[in-house]
Amino acid sequence: MSSPWLSAIRPKTLSIGVVPVLLGATIAHAEGALMQPVLLPLILLAALLIQIGTNLHNDAGDAVRGADGPDRIGPKRTVAEGWLSAAEVKRAAIGCFSAALLIGLYMVKVGGLPVLIMGVLSIGAGVAYTGGRLPIAYTMLGELFVFLFFGVVAVSGTVYLLTLQWSIISIWLGAAVGMHAAAVLVVNNYRDIDTDRRAAKLTLATHLGKRASRWLYLLLLALPFPLLMVVAELLQKPLLIWVIIPALLFALYLGREIYRIPHGRGLNRLLAQTAQLQLLYGVLIILGIQL
């Protein structure tokens, strides 16, 4: 068994929070911003703290609500397995959110009210994801929140902090990486569709069913590529279309896999690979913009 804390943090998906910040920094640099040796690491650290806090809170919340039981087919969860108590994990989550908030105070000093609003909403969404009377994760809104906060808000917010200007390119690319981030959650909820129904966790997948969930997954894999054509035109960098081809081929492979893999534990690999697609897509765009 790996460290219970490492299991609760879910390191295989942390790139979902890193990619939007690095992409935002690349866009800001392309638009003339000077490199910020202090501010950029702080943005990255705050993003990771919010994501880790959300994962920890989710681990504890799902165990307490009974969504992670002995019939779970996903990776083992720390609290559900009894490796750590729900109270311990929740305290760690609060610590992560509090640290992000402290870092955010400096960011507000730099960026003002828009940064305050984005920061409060981001931390609030992390807490509300599996907290409160009606957690976001227990509704049809999970994918939408991931799309927004691990995509549009993260990329455009990073660009704003580094340039103090809003960027239309950051919104387009934020939407693109946000779709791939949301696709990770689609796989997660598609895998858990049967156990979630029994636990009254009414995710989008439980409403759509397995067939429509697979179609949604394909849509979220595919749309970021035509979006990139718009960005290439705005940046006047046609090479971006060619640089991204490896990610397109990987997306086609994943689109086949969701039909080929039987519904069960094999989807855990597909979930990790979908996070890898978002990482590959983001890294290739960063390289393409720099060329």
Q: What are phi and psi of 178, to 5 degrees?
A: -65, -35
205 and 250 in contact (C-beta within 8 Å)?
A: no
Query: What CATH number does residue 140 fall under?
Result: 1.10.600
Q: Can you tell me the mean pLDDT for 163-175? A: 93
Q: What is the tens place of the pLDDT at every residue in 90-122?
A: 999 999 999 999 999 999 999 999 999 999 999
- So what's the pLDDT on residue 2? 64
CB-side neighbour CA atoms (13 Å) of 191: 23
Question: Stretch 130-158: mean pLDDT, rounded?
Answer: 91
Q: Average pLDDT of 191-214?
A: 92
Rounded (10°) angle between helices 168-191 and 153-163: 150
The predicted structure's pLDDT at residue 129: 87
Whether residue 58 has pLDDT greater than 60: yes
111: Cβ–Cβ under 8 A, 6 or more apart, which residues?
160, 161, 164
Q: Check pLDDT > 80 for residue 54.
A: yes
How do residues 199-209 score in pLDDT, each as one tens digit? Answer: 888 999 999 99
What pTM does this model have?
0.92
Residue 286's domain comprises 4-290
Specify the number of domains making up the chain: 1
